[in-house]
Amino acid sequence: MHRTHVSHRWWARVAGAALLMASAHVHAAEFSGQWRLTHQAIDTNPQGPLAAAHALRSDLIDLPAAGTSVVEAELQAHWRFLQANVLLTSTTPHGMATHTQAQVQELFANADAGDWQFSIGRKVVSWDVGYGFRPNDVVQQETRRTLLAVTPQGRPLLQAETFDADTATSIVWVNPQSHQDAPPTLSGDEAALAVRWYQRSGARDDHLFARWGQHTRASLGAAVAWVATDELELHASARWSQRHLTWQPTGTAPAENPWHIGMGGSATQWLVGAHWTGAQQQGLMVEWWHDGTAMADRDWDHWRQRNTALQQAAAQPGLPDALRSGLAGQLAWQTTPLGGSSLRRNNVFVRASWQYEAWQLAWDTLYMPADHGQIGTVSAQWQADQWRLTLAWRRLGGPQQALTSALPSRHTWLFAAVWAF
């Protein structure tokens, strides 16, 4: 954590210096940005381990804030070979103090040498062809299916690329400063060398990927996107990994979170999808994917059995306070593995959208066949010259045994007003 704060301060200083340099040559620099005001409201889930923990010791275990208001200013500057993106955020959870922070989203320099182009700094490098899931997004590992699309924070990297008319090769050394012996909590945080080779073959794009991670070792992948007709695009992506990071219930101390990131064996991930767009700008996307890095069904069964055992223990009358606190903590920590990118290994995603003039309406649902859990989202967006307004509602549904029924929230509403300049 200390390292992270130091790193953030360093990045902020470098960003400030870069922006000062750019402002000295403001006539030649390009500036842009946006103000964002968002308010997110949550209906907490009355079921699930966090609700049970809160019922047991409401003075120790908090439920998610009912609402959070965020004001953000995202500033982008491009001057000659330098690019910067800085995010200033002021967050006010309902009934709590306001928290402000400045964060460098991107700050990198570009250089050319013959046929090769180089980048160094913090940068977003996104790969792969899917929408709801991207197994070969091995550098950025961007969070998918967010309610509001914003620029993610780039990763520290060195990048070398070469292009001709139809092919491109990218070599990325990501997180070169990371030399931890212990596995990171997120696979994207480890030092890794990644390579992508691209070829355009008429109406088809072919991609090959390779990655060597400090802890996760080798992985190989391939992806294809093909425009089959004027209206239909098909895409597929697959990846094999020698190792993967996964949640494991390894802890035994009663006052510690038993869930830790551990190293799993080999895993496969794949996705197939189709995207149809009509002449009236109506769209339909269907994707089906398998994420072998998500917890297996039998592991979730063990997780559920542990939930039941903890709740049965907590239901016994006359428990001493210390034991009640311990059980409440253990129940709350049961939500830890629910934060992964995929809950279940097999997923089906459907998205329908329609754009009419300044309006875009969208509906999507993520369905997990293993337990019939569903995450549905409805959104409406209005885009004017500089203003963009978004209203979105997400509902976590499914039967009581579904993992979606154990998540801390049930409904999420989001309103966002964005002013671009």
Residues that bind other proteins in the complex, under the rule CB under 8 A: 28, 32, 34, 76, 78, 80-81, 83, 110, 117, 123-129, 140, 142, 149-152, 161, 163-168, 170, 198, 200, 202-203, 205, 225-227, 229-233, 235, 275, 277-281, 283, 357-358, 383-386, 388, 420-421
Q: How far apart are CA 241 and CA 269, in angstroms?
A: 8
Smaller CB distance to other proteins: residue 31 or 413? 31
| C-beta closer to other proteins: residue 177 or 229 | 229
Q: CB of 392: closest distance to other proteins in angstroms? A: 17
Distance CA 378, CA 390 (A): 11
For residue 347, how far is the Cα from the chain centroid?
Answer: 16
Q: Please, is 390 exposed, middle or buried when counting C-beta atoms within 10 Å of its C-beta (0-12, 13-18, 19+)?
A: buried
**Tokens representing residue 149 in the block:** 């699309």
Beta-bridge partners for 90: 71, 100
- Shortest separation between residue 155's beta carbon and other proteins, angstroms: 12
Q: Which tokens in the block code for residue 180?
A: 């931890």
Considering beta carbons, is residue 33 or 376 the nearer one to other proteins? 33
CB of 165 to other proteins, least distance (A): 5
Nearest approach, Cβ of residue 135 and other proteins (Å):
14
Residue 20 carries which DSSP code? H
Closest contact distance (angstroms) between CB of 307 and other proteins is 37
Tell me the residue ranges of DSSP E strands in 188-302. 192-201, 204-213, 217-227, 232-241, 244-249, 259-264, 267-277, 282-291
Minimum distance between the CB of residue 379 and other proteins, rounded to whole angstroms? 16
Category of 226 on φ-ψ map: left (φ > 0), alpha (ψ -120 to 50) or beta: beta
Closer to other proteins by CB, 6 or 26: give it. 26
Cβ-based nearer residue to other proteins, 390 or 409: 390
> Are the beta carbons of 208 and 228 closer than 8 angstroms?
no
**Cα gap 222→303, rounded to integer Å:** 33
Q: Which is nearer to other proteins, 63 or 168 (CB)?
A: 168
Pairing of strands 204-213, 192-201: antiparallel
